[in-house]
Amino acid sequence: MWRKIREDLALIRERDPAARGPLEIVLCYPGFQAVTLHRLSHKLWRSRLPLKLAARLVSQVGRFLTGIEIHPGANIGRGVFIDHGMGVVIGETAVIGDGCLLYQGVTLGGTGKDQGKRHPTLASNVVVGAGAKVLGAIQIGSNTRIGAGSVVVRNVQENCTVVGIPGRVIHQSGARINPLAHSALPDAEANVIRNLMERIDQLESQIGNLQTNVKSTRTGVQQNEICQGIAQNLKDREILEFLGESPEETNN
């Protein structure tokens, strides 16, 4: 247990540039405090003596002090860091591998009242962004990033990037992830909308060309100009703002 606590301290100092010393981490980092108290409650929970109530009481003390709720039955590996941590909920049968990083508002929860394994299993070096929900007895592969606000309800292989509701795998490679690069996730929804708008533009141009050809056929007059202008859809200010673009950039 003490070895794991020392490893937790070392990982926090490595990953958090704001950490200036072990004493500051012990006194001021709720994520470290919650994990440390959980290691004690988990030891009581697994004891042969009838100490499960005492384990729950210790976990409730940790919840009161840190705002992080970890069931004493959860299995947390070495070097797990809960950054800030307010609102984090970790269920009874959840398993968190070594070196995982969880941000505030994360839930590792269940999806029903089934007995047995009903919470997720995170392999090593998984990063779960702020507000993300990982639900059910699913497996999350090692070196996977889950974007902020995502809801993951299906198994995810290793070395993946998952975003959206429900969570979708948008990238997979064999490269090791940078645990602090959780803000560098691509905007999958904006990319989909951009592709749809480009398709609409293409279809509108084709319809314009067909109308021009029909008109020229009826009048017997050759039309020299073909409609190739920018569709009105891409001039819509709300859509452009959602895509993070300006009308000037689109026109250019």
Does the pLDDT of residue 160 top 50, yes or no? Answer: yes
> Which of the four pLDDT bands, split at 50, 70 and 90, describes residue 108?
very high
What was the pLDDT predicted at 229? 46
Which strands sit side by side in the sheet containing 151-152, from one edge to the other? Answer: 69-70, 89-90, 107-109, 133-135, 151-152
Residue with the two structure tokens 């049968």: 93
Q: In this model, does residue 122 exceed pLDDT 90?
A: yes
Q: Give the pLDDT of residue 221.
A: 57
User: What pLDDT was estimated at residue 183?
Assistant: 54
Query: Can you give the pTM of this predicted structure?
Result: 0.66
Kindly tell me if the per-residue pLDDT of 19 is higher than 90.
no
Residue 239, pLDDT > 70, answer no
For range 34-52, the mean pLDDT: 86
Band of pLDDT at residue 226, cut at 50, 70 and 90: very low
Fold of 2-172: UDP N-Acetylglucosamine Acyltransferase; domain 1 (2.160.10)
Range in 58-72, 90-104, 205-219 with the lowest mean pLDDT: 205-219
